[in-house]
Structure 1
């Protein structure tokens, strides 16, 4: 016979330990902070062990609390995974979060192919540059940029991020048909505040302090920067993979053969305990195959 403490209190402890913040746990669970504090105190009294230290308006895990957090969190992950595979309605839809750039420049153009291959499953695309919290948000999978290491998430490499300056043929013609690397310091740049500019320029042999770079329009994503470049608004630092169709069609031209990178990449991520949920496995395999086909092409 199992000797389990009240599961409602354990659930509250897991959220509070993960955030190490009672207010954040209360927001996630739809409770008041006082209710979270009460449930934690109830669990501590049941165990006769302090799980948190209260210090100057904040809470910190004790050593005992820290030891309990990982297996308890893994247990809830396992429970979630078990029930997720039993929900038939869950298998009928997949919610995907990704950035504006990845969605607009590549994924949205191909997502219909997956839908046609799997007409029984609806895909809901959520475009947001903010980092999704799988424990709180109603999302199955995500495409993230970074170095590929996120605790509790399984990550598959999709695409390494590199970049080089591009502009429209019309903009190039207005500069006399040729732009040297050093000329970029004096031309309208799109999002010149982006650190990719100074990084690329230094690798091209140009000392590019922020003071030397001419101010330009600021965009919030590469998707918008590339669109502005196509419209002849200036020179943008872009990832060739995303803009190869515009390059092939002559809407954009590259100004250099040099391509730089800072080690970042796009990754397909899902909670570790849900990696082999059938719908996630199907989408992951399709997505990786599509990216590789375009990379090879």
Structure 2
């Protein structure tokens, strides 16, 4: 024999009416109109073949059958809602993976503008140096650094990577060979790359500060600890305000930052909205 379950939407409407004591308040709690609330309860009454509410003056009250039905369901509706809520939120969410330096210095300062343009989309930023697997992990898209060529993924170049030496005003003087350099372990060879590209004499100082990543190197430079190499886009505001000064030319590298997405993301419309917005922020033309 096939089991019969009454309409969950009708039960939720009935419960809201019982909790809030009036159709207007119940409808507002559910985010629907009073007419929709009445229809859901009426459909449930038709399903069950009994009256669940009765008029009481200008309001409505549960009948004995309606009260008994809600008592029998107990907290089942609450548990169903609690289980469904994360799935519902996930439909509105885009999960983006990137590295900490780009997130802190380029992406996050711009996100309020995206939220104003797309208030219906929730953005979750996950920072890691690991190349996440968009095909198997619960991540919709990523911003990765490299020269392209990610099999199975759609990629849009955002901007070329650059290197520029920056420091607090007065933190470094004289020839580059005498600068107190800050090296990032994750990008240890950057100083040599910039040195060769700009034709500096001598070699960068061996003594200095060694930190884990470029985000920490930039923080150390802001604190006056020496000269850090970073992407010019990360320090546009700090250079404009005078918080930092550029001590040499900007060198463009072959690598670039790309926006990657799986062929079939969970939220394709939301991912596409983020893609087009990011390309606009990066000054790149959206590709089809």
TM-score relative to the length of structure 2: 0.62
Structure-2 residue corresponding to 1:216: 208
Structure-2 residue corresponding to 1:253: 245
Structure-1 residue corresponding to 2:20: none
Structure-1 residue corresponding to 2:177: 182
Give the 5 Å matches for 1:102-181: 102-172=102-172, 175=173, 179-181=174-176
Structure-1 residue corresponding to 2:255: 264
| Equivalent-residue separation in structure 1 for 2:256 and 2:165 (angstroms) | 18
C-alpha change, 1:95 and 1:231, in structure 2 (3 Å) is same
| Equivalent-residue separation in structure 2 for 1:181 and 1:286 (angstroms) | 38
**Are 1:237 and 2:229 an aligned pair?**
yes
| Equivalent-residue separation in structure 2 for 1:234 and 1:248 (angstroms) | 19
| Equivalent-residue separation in structure 2 for 1:237 and 1:260 (angstroms) | 10
Structure-2 residue corresponding to 1:195: 189
CA offsets, 1:190-213, max 9 Å, x none? Answer: 01762111111122223666xx73
C-alpha change, 1:250 and 1:126, in structure 2 (3 Å) is same
Corresponding residue pairs, total: 196
Q: Do the aligned residues in 2 keep the contact of 1:202 with 1:208 (CA within 8 Å)?
A: no
Q: Do the aligned residues in 2 keep the contact of 1:192 with 1:214 (CA within 8 Å)?
A: no
CA offsets, 1:118-148, max 9 Å, x none? Answer: 2222111111121111133210001100112
| Equivalent-residue separation in structure 2 for 1:125 and 1:208 (angstroms) | 41
Q: Secondary structure at the match of 2:208?
A: coil
Counterpart of 2:219 (choices 201, 216, 227) is 227
TM-score relative to the length of structure 1: 0.61
Q: Secondary structure at the match of 2:149?
A: coil
Q: What's the offset of the Cα at 1:259? A: 2.2
Q: Secondary structure at the match of 2:129?
A: coil
Q: What's the RMSD between the two structures over aligned residues?
A: 2.3
| Equivalent-residue separation in structure 2 for 1:126 and 1:264 (angstroms) | 22
Structure-1 residue corresponding to 2:93: 93
Superposed structure 1 runs of 4+ greater than 3 Å apart: 87-91, 206-209, 273-276
Q: Do the aligned residues in 1 keep the contact of 2:163 with 2:232 (CA within 8 Å)?
A: yes
